[in-house]
A and B are shown apart, each in its own frame.
Chain A
């Protein structure tokens, strides 16, 4: 009987060959050493906070300004704390505390469709007909999450309705699917039912635990252990509700982040990271400024600037920044040309992302676009290299293999290399 996953493609031949030439599917890293590294990685408590600028923010009004040229728009550029590096005048706070951030200005991702672009940037590659890849949240939940942890591994805030529905754990399965928060910053359906008192609930949990423990005696089964873990996670999720309660933060911390919905979500993301959640995505929609691009960015970029700077300051003061990677990313950027509605349209040929904190050379810029921002002039990279860079910044071997049946599937496509210049 043929395996539907193994279609015999060139990629699979490469992967099988690669697998057979190494002892454990990761070039040069024996399996036991890999497991040891993996355990060590999980102990380090690393996290990622992804600020997902849904709809596609304009690189020209944020990280790659081009003042004074026909495509540049009305905004000026201001110098950052790194001499010679300029960003949009709409981001004065990030300009001042640029020391932990690297701008990558040379993304060419070739997909200007919202859905396709979002999938590509979250996964680093396109799905195959018979293989759905996990997004970076699922991968990082698996790589950085502690199996015994009782907090969620992957939390995704997407309260706006535009641009949703692209998260996915792919072949990793529902264990690594995100806890999606789409109606409120508080998780739904995790409250104890009103008709069960707290003491009843504790008694029931204790009784179930007793029976399970007795049943497991003398039995050795992964299924049983998984069963126990599942109950533990449910209990953990119910107990983790307070992590989503921003009112538990001191008022001065709330004031620092600001009063907007995005600010509240980012503050909750920090609370989650502090509690050990390895991957949190906060989507801020919707940047799709086909009309009135400059008004839209004048409205939205200062919020991003303020909240991002507040987050980085907060993480640094808590000693968390060295173990937390903050990413700004979208499905694409926006056209250098300005349309007749004073808008900018979808543009995936030369746009920007940022990485801040864990494993990153701060205060730096990688890559360059041409004078009008129409093409990448230097250091072009695609989605795969970006994800490889993110994985390596977190100490994860980007060529590590997962197995779908017996097929080895590396975290990023074969031959993909991280951008070394970005990595500390």
Chain B
């Protein structure tokens, strides 16, 4: 991939803050959702991208995906809601978690949805909303200093046999999807800052995870140790593990960008890693995790909260703080 060829194809300002995006395959259209509690169908190619607005949650929408021809949304209200894409009609709502749902993802075979939430439960669902299994005992509800923890990130392995989840204090778990059994744990404590002296609260957490194409490595994203936790002032950080050995193999720290890595995604064939996120402003990070170096670091004009790729990562949709941008790269 020619990373330096990356260019902004479309750049749209918005009033709201977007946390979730589900791309309509082979198009530049997507469903986005965020701080206005609503779902918007948008076309990045249009000067006025808004096509439709529908439904909504009773709090921020944090995650969207397309499964079995339906759109599934999740939010801080703890609900997962199914929508008919043709009409925008809600046809199913599930009280999926007792606290904020941070992310829902679809298994590679398209049959299972995994949800993670601040009730520290990991749940597997059929695409029709039936609970298959839940894993609840591994991510602790309280931090070591007795404050509520948060469960931010999840990813399926490429073959769907494993699910990785990661929380605020930097605890990572790999589960066997079929049984719900824990098969590995790792720690990335640098991504969690507890300030016991000056400010006495915390910041950070692992915000993103991704399996490598061969399924052997697991990348986690967040930020580094923070001095003044009033701000996300530490540099963006990625760690990579050989998860079966629980062995850390790479630590990548951006020298150009601060903030949280909120999305990670490996190129399925070339094996490089894409990270996206930000703080006051955003970034795209392209990394060679074997060589332990960044291949390219691209500034984004807003804090990025979610990303949807297309065309083997040559087309990258990012959404975030009052903006959504479409990047394109040459292969």
What is the interface of chain A, defined by CB distance below 8 A to chain B? Answer: 55, 67-68, 70, 74-76, 159-162, 258-261, 284-286, 288-292, 295-296, 298-300, 302-303, 338-343
Contacts and interface: CB of A to CB of B under 8 A. Distances in A.
Nearest to B203: A292
Interface in B108-135: 118
A302 B148 contact: yes
Contacts of A286: 198-201, 230
Given A74-B60, A76-B59, A302-B148, A341 B201 contact: no
A56 B207 CA distance: 27
Given A289-B230, A340-B302, A162 B146 contact: no
30 contacts: A67-B59, A70-B15, A74-B35, A74-B59, A75-B76, A159-B200, A160-B198, A260-B146, A260-B147, A261-B200, A284-B200, A285-B198, A285-B199, A286-B199, A286-B230, A291-B203, A291-B231, A291-B232, A295-B203, A295-B205, A296-B203, A298-B150, A299-B148, A299-B202, A300-B147, A300-B201, A340-B281, A340-B302, A341-B232, A341-B279
A180 B232 CA distance: 31
A340 B321 contact: yes
Taking chain A's interface residues, is the majority helix, strand, or loop, or is none over half, making it mixed? Answer: loop
Contacts of A300: 147, 201
B231 A74 contact: no
Interface in B144-166: 145-148, 150
B285 to A, nearest CB: 18
Contacts of A343: 231
Interface string B294-331: 00000000110000000000000000011000000000
A74 B232 CA distance: 20
Contacts of B35: 70, 74, 338
B2 interface: no
Interface of B: 15-17, 35-37, 58-60, 76-77, 100, 118, 145-148, 150, 197-203, 205, 230-233, 259, 278-281, 302-303, 321-322
Closest 7 CB pairs of A and B: A286-B199, A74-B60, A340-B321, A291-B232, A74-B76, A162-B198, A291-B231
B261 to A, nearest CB: 14
A305 B259 CA distance: 30
Nearest to B145: A260
Contacts of A160: 197-200
Contacts of A55: 199, 230
Nearest to B77: A76
B201 A299 contact: yes
Nearest to A161: B198
Q: Is the interface of B mostly helix, strand, loop or mixed?
A: loop
A340 B17 CA distance: 9
Nearest to B305: A342
B145 A341 contact: no
A162 B231 CA distance: 14
Contact of B59 (A75, A285, A342): A75
Nearest to B152: A295
B280 A341 contact: yes
Contacts of A298: 100, 118, 148, 150
Contacts of B148: 298-299, 302
Nearest to B58: A76
Residue with the greatest number of chain B CB neighbours at <10 A, chosen from A55, A261, A291, A303: A291
Contacts of A285: 198-200
A284 B36 CA distance: 32
A338 B199 contact: no
Contacts of A342: 17, 303, 321
A288 B114 CA distance: 34
Contacts of A162: 198-199
A118 to B, nearest CB: 15
B147 A299 contact: yes
Contact of B147 (A70, A75, A303, A338): A303
Kindly name the residue among B59, B201, B259 whose own CB sees the greatest number of chain A CB atoms within 10 A: B201
Given A286-B230, A292-B232, A341 B303 contact: yes
A296 B226 CA distance: 14
**Residue of A74, A259, A343 with most partner-chain B CB within 10 A:** A74
A300 B199 CA distance: 11
Given A260-B145, A302-B147, 5 more contacts: A55-B230, A67-B58, A160-B197, A258-B146, A260-B147
Contacts of A261: 200
Nearest to B100: A74
A296 B201 contact: yes
A45 B218 CA distance: 62
Given A340-B302, A341-B232, A342-B17, A291 B279 contact: yes
Nearest to A284: B200
Contacts of B36: 70
A285 B197 CA distance: 10
A291 B230 contact: yes
A338 B279 contact: no
A295 B204 CA distance: 9
A286 B199 CA distance: 4
A338 B17 contact: yes
Contacts of A76: 58-59, 77
A201 B15 CA distance: 71
A295 B188 CA distance: 19
Nearest to B233: A291
Nearest to B303: A340
A359 B203 CA distance: 39
B15 A290 contact: no
Contacts of A295: 150, 203, 205
A288 B231 CA distance: 9
Contacts of B60: 74
